[in-house]
Chains A and B, each alone.
Chain A
């Protein structure tokens, strides 16, 4: 499995926020984007997830099990700033919906809803409406969404915002397990995720328009 980005450039308003960003991630590899606020980390993640059209360049996904013509976005989980969960529905209903709607990409298997909730440490409150949970609990449940359907690539935007130290540890464990099973991780973060031998890409934003190649 291989996720490649080739000469990506994206625009915010009139100006290019980054250009000529290229990377290639193989099975089990991770890439962490760093840089100050507004340097284009989230924009790059949204481009890779297919949610923003790049100004130039392309994102490609290669895998033995992938059908030809599969968009890279279909192999990705995207966890953005917002949790994509409905406040009116219970946690179980939310997770069960996404499990059903996502389906599994070929080549992996996913966890049942209650096991995923157990793994993020909140197995006992899945009957509550999502809106009743605290910000940190909501973030954990949003993370559980990544476990209920298999996607080889995880794209995480500030995954550890609003989390306590304990939860950060849980996330790191889950991310490591994902990488160990041959997953690929692309994350933007300010706090170190505690990954060994991860690649890092420093984003510089408008001022230093060159997104450095590593």
Chain B
């Protein structure tokens, strides 16, 4: 039953009007213009590379979040999702997973290419990709709460980003510091990386709970 929802949402994210490609294109745009703006200083580019890739990924992840529940609300599906006997938390969790697979995973896959734009070495590219893989699900789970709160608002897109941004900052901080720790010797890689893992696991529980609560009360 829940796999049906996962596959439906995945199909929707790759069909026309789904946000999967938009996110990746925006990610590429943000990162690709940086070298032109900063200039051809390769050392500088490789130094700021992981941070820029992470910031680009964060912004693109925020871009598609408002659609997480809004499309379902607009066509009435959300009502039916709310009525079923499956726990709403599980339904929300599945929708988050589908959203991440459709919107977050493509960012992770695109990140090595953009790492090359930023003159990052293999270790830095690998570390950034790994931290993005671990960190972007947290962005989706945090965003689910914002998307659920703003679901009844027309044009709630920007509002979702603003609501979510403060909570997403720790993910950015630990994601970037773990990426840097992998290339710069004195700093150890594991502590910030494990904190990033902890953040993701924490929000994997709290995000769907909060979003389910918000959705239950959004209809009043």
Contacts and interface: CB of A to CB of B under 8 A. Distances in A.
Interface of A: 46, 49-53, 70-71, 73-74, 76, 78, 80-89, 93, 96-98, 100-103
Interface residues of B, number: 25
B76 A82 contact: yes
5 contacts: A49-B79, A80-B76, A80-B79, A84-B77, A88-B15
B83 A89 contact: no
Nearest to A94: B8
Most buried by A among B1, B11, B83: B83
Interface string B79-120: 111111100000000000000000000000000000000000
A73 B85 CA distance: 8
A103 B84 CA distance: 9
B219 A51 contact: yes
Contact of A89 (B15, B82, B219, B220): B15
Given A52-B220, A89-B15, A101-B5, A74 B76 contact: no
A101 B219 contact: no
B82 A70 contact: no
Nearest to B81: A101
Nearest to A145: B80
Secondary structure dominating the interface of B? helix
Given A82-B76, A93-B8, A97-B8, A51 B83 contact: yes
A53 B220 contact: yes
Contact of B85 (A46, A74, A82): A74
Contacts of B41: none
B18 interface: yes
Contact of A101 (B1, B18, B75, B79): B1
Contact of B76 (A50, A81, A102): A81
B85 A100 contact: no
Contact of B77 (A49, A86, A93): A86
Contacts of B75: 82-87
A78 B219 CA distance: 15
Given A46-B219, A89-B11, 11 more contacts: A50-B83, A51-B83, A70-B85, A74-B84, A76-B83, A82-B74, A86-B12, A87-B75, A97-B4, A98-B80, A100-B4
